[in-house]
Chains A and B, each alone.
Chain A
Amino acid sequence: MGLAKRIIPCLDVENGRVVKGVQFVDIRDAGDPVEVARRYDEQGADEITFLDITASHEGRDTTVHTVERMASEVFIPLTVGGGIRTCEDIRRMLNAGADKVSINSAAVYNPEFVAQAASRFGSQCIVVAIDAKSVSKPGEEPRWEIFTHGGRKPTGLDAVAWAVKMTELGAGEILLTSMDQDGVKNGYDLGVTRAISDAVKVPVIASGGVGNLDHLVDGVLQGGADAVLAASIFHFNEYSIPEAKQHMAARGIEMRL
């Protein structure tokens, strides 16, 4: 008996529509994030992460509206990430009904923003998203660096040291995405997940690379993650949330069933 590990489906949303496609949604409604979130909520997802990849300002208003609709119908925690750059962005999302916001690039360009955000809104709602890539050569001590711009732009920042710094500034949770693994379906990068999970005192969400249910188990048991995030395996009905939870529970992981 104790705290359960979490399963978090992630929706990539652009201009109020889920992109990357979601198979189980009715064709006429394909891509309505609220419908998708409701479906995951019914299946027993522990949280929802809403990643806004909208570029335009007009689109951001749509995002706020979508978050409002989602929060009126889905009664599990909701994290909104993508384009969070100012305290005003955070305030808008929290007022719309988000429980947490995820800060990514803005933390790299202005680490002080994380401190400001945590002191104003509380660490419990500030997630820092880290995109890490392995930079060590074979045979070397493993090392990972922070990349921005979808993994294209190196920053020279050591991922583990960066994660620690973010929590010292007030991040209440780390969303760790392995850029080597993202979309590859070979499983999480367990090395960096374990290294960061051991180094920080706050919960770590593993992300990037899930192809099957054993990968979720590995993220927790080997990576030390407190929560596991996945998109495509759930979107395309390869696995359902209850199946994933049963599978993890059968491996001895505390789950909310």
Chain B
Amino acid sequence: MNTIAVIDYGMGNLHSASKALEHVAPDAKVVVTNDPQVIADSDRVVLPGVGAIRDCIGEMQNCGVDKIVADTLGTKPLLGICVGMQALMQRSTENGGVDCLGHLPGEVSFFGDQPSINEAHLKVPHMGWNQVRQVKHPLWSGIADNSRFYFVHSYYVRTENRDLVAGSCHYGVDFDVALAQPNLFAVQFHPEKSHTAGLQLLKNFVQWDGSL
């Protein structure tokens, strides 16, 4: 059986991610857990996240999730969502500057620090449905380019390694909303809240063999 571990480190709404996975993969077993053994035994892993980055990273460290992520990366398909994506980067300017898990090169910055955002009086958080420009990847299968996904975040990711970018978006600035490497796909938007397009992406993840 296809077992999907949704990593629980005491932050945020895991119900949404697990329910959406159950919906798209009725035959799969979805477990919400921070048990290293259960995660090691699973076929694929989801790293969700909402809230402030310092608390997220802190809770990950408290629960040993930082180590679990390090051990899992590259060994089986892992999907990072929202702060789960940001946590994989090197550093965030949130909460006065926080070192993240450092698995992907790049920084997480505040929209409100961008003059272009303030001049256009764009609201922060970036909240709602925005269009994603796709770079060819199996997880976009069956989803039209420039489809809209649901976002809610005040900090955004930019990576200097453009080879990692699988999706990007514009909101006053261009930013990266999907990063991919073998066995890893990380998204800034919430596929579990993005209706048909989001559910299709989750369905693709459940069937993904981890290759680019």
Identify the A interface with B (CB < 8 A): 1-6, 41, 44, 46, 68, 71-73, 75-77, 94-99, 119, 121-125, 172-173, 198, 201-204, 226-227, 256
Q: Give the CA-CA distance A97 to B22 in the complex, in Å.
A: 14
Do the beta carbons of B125 and A203 come within 8 Å of each other? Answer: yes
Instruction: Evaluate contact between A75 and B13: CB separation under 8 angstroms.
Output: no
**Contact partners of B121 in chain A: CB under 8 A:** 198
Q: Is B165 an interface residue (CB 8 A)?
A: no
B9 interface hit (Cβ, 8 Å): no
Complex Cα–Cα for A222 and B146 (A): 28
Instruction: Judge whether B210 is part of the interface by a CB distance below 8 angstroms.
Output: no
Taking residues whose C-beta sits less than 8 angstroms from the other chain, chain B's interface range is 35 or more
User: Chain B: which residue is nearest A46 at the CB level?
Assistant: B129
Q: Please, which residues of chain B bring their CB within 8 A of the CB of A1?
A: 131, 146, 170
> Does B90 sit within 8 A of A, measured CB to CB?
no
B144 on the A face (CB < 8 A): no
Report the minimal beta-carbon distance from A224 to chain B, rounded to whole angstroms: 9
The residues of B that contact A72 with a CB separation of less than 8 Å are 19, 22-23
Interface residue? B15 (CB, 8 A)? yes
A203 touches B146 (CB 8 A): no
Chain B contacts for A173, CB-based, 8 A: 125, 127
Whether the pair B123, A203 counts as a contact (CB closer than 8 A) is yes
Per the bound structure, the CA–CA distance linking A96 and B18 in Å amounts to 12
Establish whether residues B112 and A76, one from each chain, have CB atoms under 8 Å apart when the complex forms. Answer: no
The answer to whether A75 touches B192, judged by C-beta atoms less than 8 angstroms apart, is yes
Q: Is the CB of A4 within 8 A of B129?
A: yes
- Cα distance, A121 to B186, chains bound together (Å): 22
9 closest cross-chain pairs (CB), A and B: A122-B51, A256-B129, A97-B15, A203-B123, A4-B129, A124-B152, A256-B148, A72-B19, A3-B130
- Pairwise interchain contact B127-A124, C-beta atoms closer than 8 A: yes
CB-CB nearest in chain A for B153:
A124
